[in-house]
Amino acid sequence: SGANSGRVEKYRSKVTESCKKAAIEALAGNNNIGDYKYFMMKNRAKTSSYKKYYILGSHCFYSR
């Protein structure tokens, strides 16, 4: 909905080069998070309740 409403333009200048690189790699089929289906900021993650998890940068990817 952000793209349709025009709000995405507000944040375009804040996108870092590493984010752009990650998006390009993901679109090319690269996967560095395995088969994890969920994610959240690592400082809010409840890792003790996850079957397995992987921390990448400031995000926690996990399986229930």
Measured on CA atoms in the order 29, 34, 38, 39, is the torsion positive or negative? Answer: negative
Note the pLDDT tens digit of each residue in 31-53.
888 889 899 999 999 999 999 99
| 3, pLDDT greater than 80 | no
Give this prediction's pTM.
0.60
Q: What six digits make up the tokens of 3?
A: 């793209």
The band of 4, judged by pLDDT with boundaries at 50, 70 and 90, is confident
Q: What are the domain boundaries of the chain?
A: 1-30, 33-64
Cβ–Cβ < 8 Å for 38, 63: yes
| 1, pLDDT greater than 70 | no
Percent of the chain whose predicted confidence (pLDDT) is above 90: 53
